[in-house]
Amino acid sequence: MVQDRRIIDVHTHMFTPEWVRLLKENPDPNVRIVPGTPHEIVDYRGAPIVRLSPEMTDFDLRMEAMDRDSIDVSIISLTCPNVYWGSRELSIAAARQVNDDFAAAERKYGKRIRWMASLPWEYPEDAVAELERAKGMGAVGVCLLTNILGRHLTDPDFEPIWTAIEASGLPAFIHPTTPFIDAATLGLEGFGLSNTVGFMMDTTACFARMILDGFVDRHPKLDLIACHGGGTLPYLIGRFDQMWHRSRSVRKVFSPPSTYLRRFWFDAIVYDQNALDLLVKQVGADRIMFGSDYPFLIADAEGVTRRVSALAPEAQAPIFSENAAGLFGIGEDDA
């Protein structure tokens, strides 16, 4: 590892063998495992979303990758489809299993592995109970998706979960998924467009709704993390401001949307130096954290390291580790 630079990776994923087993044994209309070459594929509503390569479930391979990429601490999370499938009992069981597996990984590999909890969001009472259990086991955050099987995160039914997360003090890492509509209808079938475009659409819509619906104002103490540099929100924020100024009769918030950007946290996975420069200009280096997106094909630890290293010197340490250390409560001796 690089000795004079500490890196905390806040956007990096794992599945676990037991999660895979549960899904295989309980196929769902929305989520199933299908044959693929060379690896099986997790299919989400007719679109391939995850390849089950060894890196997805093997923590020893992860440690090798962390050493190769000079990453000191990985804060792992379960990405889409998370545990939003099957019956209530299965969703609860999958959440408990993944959280137990992640806690076990932290015990085995020490403080180089930290983790975010998965919750059965469709069942708020159970989600709140699992949040409390996971925090007690060492979870440093909560991971969820930009929509819960098509339901907005601002749905009033989810209010008890948000209230509990806010009270817990844990950050909420909101990962995109394919918009909950037929991919062909959006023109996203094939070519990886569900990921490259669909994910960005879902993140942008999710966080824009949180602003415009007044959700952020109702939960002022929530720490919300927008993946992939916030989708297109930093780029389109001027358009949102213009619409807000021209739509006075339907406003639910009393400040332009752009004033809310710094209420969120962002990762630095944007794949382009100009895009990262814009993100820093829009939200500040003190609101951005390192992420690799390991172990997906689109992972870019080397590229993110290179682009952050090209920023002004005073911006680098906050993005590489300082912001994440403060947000997730990770001390200098945790790696």
Average pLDDT, the chain: 92
What pLDDT, on a 0 to 100 scale, did the predictor assign at position 186? Answer: 64
Q: Tell me whether residue 24 is in a domain.
A: no
Rounded mean pLDDT of 259-286?
Answer: 97
CB 17 within 8 A of CB 233: no
What CATH number is attached to the domain comprising 162?
Answer: 3.20.20.140
> Does 54 sit behind a cis peptide bond, omega within 30 degrees of 0 on the bond before it?
no
Binned at pLDDT 50, 70 and 90, residue 218 comes out as very high
Q: Residue 316 has what pLDDT?
A: 98
Q: Is residue 99 a part of any domain in this protein?
A: yes
Q: Is the pLDDT of residue 183 over 70?
A: no
For 198, other C-beta atoms within 10 Å of its C-beta total 21
**44 is a domain residue:** no
- What does the pLDDT average to over 76-100? 96
Q: What is the pLDDT of residue 1?
A: 39
Report the pLDDT averaged over residues 113-121: 98
With respect to residue 47, please indicate whether it lies within any of the assigned structural domains.
no
Q: Is 289 among the domain residues?
A: yes
Distances (CA, A) of 62 to 6, 137, 261: 17, 22, 33
Tell whether pTM > 0.75. Answer: yes
| Per-residue pLDDT at 190 | 73
Q: What are the φ and ψ backbone dihedral angles of 290, each rounded to 5 degrees?
A: -70, 140
State mean pLDDT over 57-62.
96
Among residues 315, 309, 254, the alpha carbon closest in space to that of 284 is found at: 315
In a domain, 35, yes or no: no
Burial track 73-95 (b if 16+ CB lie within 10 A, e otherwise): bbbbbbbbbbbbbbeeebbbbbb
What is the arithmetic mean of pLDDT over 298-307?
97
| Domain contains 31 | no
Domain count, the chain: 1
Is pLDDT above 90 for 334?
no
Which band of pLDDT confidence, cut at 50, 70 and 90, is reported for residue 92? very high
What is the average per-residue pLDDT within 59-88? 96
Nearest to 263 by CA among 296, 302, 224, 235: 224
Tell me whether residue 41 is in a domain. Answer: no
Q: Map tokens 């599945």 to a residue.
A: 15
Is it the case that residue 251 has pLDDT exceeding 80? yes
Q: How many other CB atoms are there within 10 angstroms of residue 257's CB atom? A: 22
Which residue range forms the structural domain that includes residue 179?
A: 8-15+59-328
